[in-house]
Structure 1
Amino acid sequence: MAEVFVSSEKREQLKVLMASVNVREEDLTERFILGAGSGGQKINKTSSCVYLRHAPSGIEIKCQSSRSRDLNRYYARKLLCERLDEQLRGAQSKRQQEAERIRRQKRRRSRRQQAKVLDDKHKHAECKQRRGAVKQTDHE
């Protein structure tokens, strides 16, 4: 991958990530295909879309998130590692944990919790009401 678009730190992190899920470069089949969609003439003319296939697992990744081929190569490998991690670890994978966290946030509160929150808001509003306006005094 080119050093211009992907920093050496990111490349090292990717190597560690690939090693943690047992992905070797020899197992990958990589092709560059014409992109499609928004982005204008540049996207449609250049082969910056990356198609990546991991032979042992059969996972196929197609990445066109950037106009740069090198950046797309990086993103495709990272996505492949995330998918393999999800397969291997299941519910403990980072992606699954993030999805569960969002689900918990969106979950509706029980009536008791709603009442508690509302009561707390009323108490806070009362407290603010009692403060009153700031009085101006002349000190001369």
Structure 2
Amino acid sequence: MVVDLYHHLYELLSTDSQLLGLLGIAPEDKDSLSRQIIKQRKLAPLSDVAKPLLSFYATSGKRDTDNPLLLTSFFRLDVITPGDIELAHQIANHLFHLLDGKSLSINGIEGLDTYVVSQQESDTGHSSAYCFTLVTKFTLQVC
């Protein structure tokens, strides 16, 4: 199910016109989509960041002990900009409103509840790149 969440979260993010605008991506520009919305933790060298990036990846997950039909998974979303703190905060704010407290239905997954559980600035190790992170909890019913 977590692998399915990667795909569905990418679909949600890559089709959100406001997010694409903040990232500076034209919806039909598939190359920029795949370079700037990234389904993994490992990135190209951050010293080369010229446009905003959004990296997301699963950090942990488990079945509920009381109800084994409930699966919880945590995803980290790193918003990385070339030193533009305000833009990173705007993107993170939009992601918060897109994901927090929502019950999503994405491509056949019903009852996918999402909550942002933490937000913080993260160290990139590069003075030219700024990162703001959201950790989101996804809970879904496994049938």
**Smaller-chain TM-score range?**
under 0.3
Structure having the higher helix fraction is 1
- TM-score between the two structures when normalised by the length of structure 1: 0.26
Structure having the higher strand fraction is 2
**More RCO (CA 8 Å, sep 6+):** 2
